[in-house]
Amino acid sequence: MARSWTRATCCAALASFARGVAACGDSSTKGQASQPEDFVAQASDFACLQNWVRVRNMRVTNKLGHLDAAVKFAQDLPEGQQFPIGTIVQLFPGEAMVKRGPAFDPDNHNWEYFELDVSQSGTTIRKRGRDEIVNMFGGQCFGCHVAAKPFDFICEEDHGCVKLPVSGAQIAALQDVDPRCKK
C-alpha cells in the first residue's frame, strides 16, 4: 500500500528521527545543548475529547509525554509562563490549539490553530495556521486569543477575550457528543 507523504508528514518524520538520534547519546553531541523539541500535529493526534483531561471547560492532552505539566499549567494558568510543547487544548471537537516548538511563531507563543472535520471514522485537518483560522462563531482565533497573551493565549472567562456565545454547560454538551468517541 502506497503511503502519502505530505510536507507535514515529512517534517514530523524528520523531527522524530532527530529526537531519536539525540536520545541515542551520539558522542559527537555530548556536552552540547540539545535542539529544542517541536511537535507537528497530525490528524491522528486529535481524538475523542472525552479521553483527554478536563480542566474547567478545556480538554487538554500532551503528545510529547508532558501531560502532568500541561494539566498543572491549565489548572493554574500562571501569568507570564507557557504550556509545554506538544500540548493540545480544545473546547470544541472541530477546533484546536497546538503548542509548537520555540521557533514556530514566537509572537503567538508558538501556538498553531486548527479547523478540524470530525466524524466516527476520525479527524481530518481542514486548515491549520494562525491568522487564517476562524472559529465556529466567525471570529479569527488569533485575533481573539491575543488578548490573553499573559496567560499563554488561553482565554477563559476573564483574560480579556471576547466572550463566547455559549455557556460552560453547552461546551460540555458539545464535547460529550464528539463523534470520535465510542458509544
Query: At a CB cut-off of 8 Å and minimum separation 6, what does 96 contact?
Result: 41, 46, 88, 89, 90, 113, 114, 116
Task: Give the phi and the psi of residue 39 in degrees, each rounded to 5.
Answer: -140, 115
Q: Residue 121's pLDDT is what?
A: 95
Query: At a CB cut-off of 8 Å and minimum separation 6, what does 5 contact?
Result: none
What pLDDT digit, counting tens, does each position of 114-169 carry?
Answer: 999 999 999 999 999 999 999 888 888 998 999 999 999 999 988 989 899 999 99
Pairing relationship of beta strands 53-55 and 95-99 according to DSSP bridges: unpaired
Residue 10 has pLDDT above 50, yes or no: no
Q: Residue 32's pLDDT is what?
A: 46
Q: Residue 139's pLDDT is what?
A: 87
Q: Residue 34's pLDDT is what?
A: 60
Q: Average pLDDT in the 90-98 region?
A: 97
Q: Residue 11's pLDDT is what?
A: 39
What pLDDT digit, counting tens, does each position of 33-82 carry?
Answer: 565 689 999 999 999 999 999 999 999 999 999 999 999 999 999 999 99
Q: Residue 157's pLDDT is what?
A: 86
Q: Residue 124's pLDDT is what?
A: 98
